Amino acid sequence: MAYEQLKLENQLCFPIYAASRLIIREYQPHLETLGITYPQYLVLMLLWETDDRTVNEIAQRLILNTNTVTPILKRMEAQGLISRRRAKDDERRVIISLTPKGVQLREEAARIPERLIEELVTDEMKLEDLHRLKEQLNAMIRFLTTKGGMDMGDDYKLEGPK
C-alpha cells in the first residue's frame, strides 16, 4: 500500500478506541445491576468524591461538553439519583447534588473496580502492567488536555484486589 500511514494497524488512535470500548463493555454487567450506564457511573464517581458540583465542573472533569453532560444529568435526575438546582449567587450555574438514592448506590458500586481488575489480571496482563498503562494514558490525557487548554484535575487511583 502506498499510504502505510493510513493502515488501521499503524494508528495510535485505534487501539486506544478499541480498548476503551472493550473495557466499557466489561463494566456493563456490573452497572446493569445498579441500573446505570457507564457515563452515569462516571458522574456518580465525581459526586461521591465531592458532592454539589456544577454542570461545568462535571463536564470539564469528564472532558465532555456541557451539551453532552446535560442529557445524562436529566436522565439521572429522572431516576432519582441526583438533584439539580440553580446556584443562589448566579442563576446561570446549575448545582448537581446526590440524592439519598445516589448516595446509597456508592456502597453497591464500591466493589466494581476490584471486580474489573480481577477480570483483567491474567498471566499475560499483570496488575503492574495495568498500573503502568494507566499512568501512561494519564500522561497522554494531561498532555492533550493541557495542549487544548483544558484541566482534567487529579488522576483516579487504579487499585487491585484486596
Gap between the Cα atoms of 82 and 102, Å rounded: 6
Task: Determine the residue type at 99.
Answer: T
- Closest to 45 in 3D by CA, of 26, 28, 62: 62
Boundaries of every domain in the chain? 36-101, 111-148
pLDDT band at 82 (very low <50, low <70, confident <90, very high): very high
pLDDT at 156 over 60: no
pLDDT at 149 over 90: no
CB under 8 Å to 47, separation ≥6 — which residues? 53, 82, 96, 97, 98, 102
pLDDT band at 158 (very low <50, low <70, confident <90, very high): very low
Average pLDDT score, the chain? 91
pLDDT at 122 over 50: yes
Chain segment 17-60, per-residue pLDDT in tens: 999 999 999 999 999 999 999 999 999 999 999 999 999 999 99
Cβ atoms within 10 A of the Cβ of 124, count? 6
Q: 36-101 is classed in which CATH architecture?
A: Orthogonal Bundle (1.10)
